[in-house]
Amino acid sequence: MRVLICDGLRQQGVKIFQKVKNLEVEVRKKIEPEELLDVIPDCDGVVIRSRTKIGRKVLKQASRLRVIGRAGIGVDNIDIEAATERGVLVMNTPGANAVAAAEHAMALMLALARHIPRADESVRAGKWEKKKFVGTELYNQTLGIIGLGRIGSIVANRALGMRMRVLAFDPYVSEDVAAKLGVELVSPQKLFRQSQFITIHTPFTKETKGLLDEAAFKMMKRGVRIVNCARGGIIDESALYEAIKKKKVAGAALDVFSQEPPVDNPLLTLPQVIATPHLGASSEQAQMNVAVAIAEQMVDYLQNGLIRNAVNMPSMSPKMIEQIQPYMRLAERLGHFLSMYFQGNVRHLKISYGGDLRELELAPVTNAAQKGFLERGLGEEVNLVNAPVVMRNRGIQVEIATTSEARGYAGLITLAVVTDQGQFRVAGTVFPTPECRIVGIDDYRVEASLEGRMLLISNHDRPGVIGFIGTTLGDHQVNIADMHLSRIRSKGTAICLVTIDHPVTSAVLQALKEYEDIIEVTEIEV
């Protein structure tokens, strides 16, 4: 067997590979794309960090490749779909650098509060400007944490140790878990309005892109300070620039940017901004932790077939995969749909299997449902293998039930999430093609393809609503691919599920919401 280490790896990790008999190890601190194409056909495993990209072109040449190990969390430099198609396992090391990232966030927060970089620069320039750099204490201040996962939880612990009041927004954490951490779960609006410091620890996803935008900054306290050690793009950098110029935001400490390295970024012209070159995971301990973790995981897989922290596939036999893969796809898509539909803070998730599904091995399907439900909010942190653990760690109970009832379908999967605002439920089935279809939303019966972009519209059942929806979308050049209507009784409430060809703008959503008979509009993508 042969393992290629592409971006260098700490010696502690390299030694783990070297101790394995009949395993050849080649270490490249830097490898160009053309070189990778030449050497990949002879590799059984490859270790990468953030620099090397493994796309479909590379994977086509990787005739022997069994596993890709990402020494770190982010896997956006790996074509997961292509790897899965070729049966290549992709694994990462979530959590190995959590302490380093959390401590960097705390360091930036303190540097921001006490003007440390500017004061250091002033002294080096021969000045002694004590009055100019009067800072603020963290003691008794309110910290808002966006994302209460591994890193966010550590930040909360450190902040509480400094006697800060800690608020957090994370719809995927239960109130019980937050209470045990000593943290108050709140809405993003309340977090923005009450926090003197805000730190971001959530993945970059479609939902979190531009989360801190102009509207968010308008809600914040005057003099708020912002820290981002998560991912670039979560903050609208233009909006942050304007908020600092208007003195709404007193300062920002940024370890990540929408473009890295940042080129001609106006934020870097502001003295109120502290910038570091994506150092969140750059501690001696974190580098060693990820090296050891990925080496141990890959050796376990190559020698014994043991899978840990896999991103793309649980352990299953080929026969089992053939039987349940369509239902895994359905469960994951139902999870995606539900995650974009529900409101409030999650308490527990119910998964029900009806009809012939009772005869199948359902554990991988259950994992797929949990993965789908979580990954829109948590991104690459959750996968098919660790989804149940993530649910459990976040205090979300999962109930599994089976029933003979399937509403006339061969098999039926129903997902229901219970939150502090009620219960939200979706149901689906697989047609012989195979095609995933959604057949129920709460008490409404629908039958639509569970694929692509959709608008879920709740409305009063009155004449003119459907016409208004069609006209409004048409006026904004939004093409309708499919439309399904459902109501429980005449003149009550109804839903309209519209499949569209392209994403809609906020202006389209606002135009729909302003119509008096439309109750709610939710944009969904599966």
d(CA 251, CA 98): 24
Q: Known catalytic residues?
A: 231, 260, 278
- Copy the structure tokens of residue 283: 């501690």
d(CA 37, CA 157): 45
- Asked if 200 and 256 count as a contact pair (C-beta separation under 8 A), the reply is no
Q: Tokens 């973790």: give the residue.
A: 293
Question: How many H-runs (helices) and E-runs (strands) does the chain carry?
Answer: 17, 22
Contacts of 180 (CB under 8 A, 6+ apart): none
Distance, CA of 454 to chain centre = 20
- Asked if 499 and 448 count as a contact pair (C-beta separation under 8 A), the reply is yes
HSE-up of residue 104 (Cα within 13 Å, Cβ side): 27
d(CA 401, CA 350): 8
d(CA 57, CA 42): 15
* Beta strands, E only, 322-410: 346-355, 397-403
d(CA 204, CA 100): 19
- Copy the structure tokens of residue 302: 């190559």
Angle between helices 284-304 and 11-18 (to 10 degrees): 20
- Asked if 454 and 504 count as a contact pair (C-beta separation under 8 A), the reply is no
Question: What is residue 428's three-state secondary structure?
Answer: strand
- Asked if 412 and 334 count as a contact pair (C-beta separation under 8 A), the reply is no
CA angle, corner 184, sides to 182 and 185, nearest 5? 130
- Copy the structure tokens of residue 100: 């380093």
Beta bridge partners of 2: 24
Antiparallel, parallel or unpaired: β 67-70 and 89-91: parallel
Question: What is residue 422's three-state secondary structure?
Answer: strand
Question: What is residue 415's three-state secondary structure?
Answer: strand
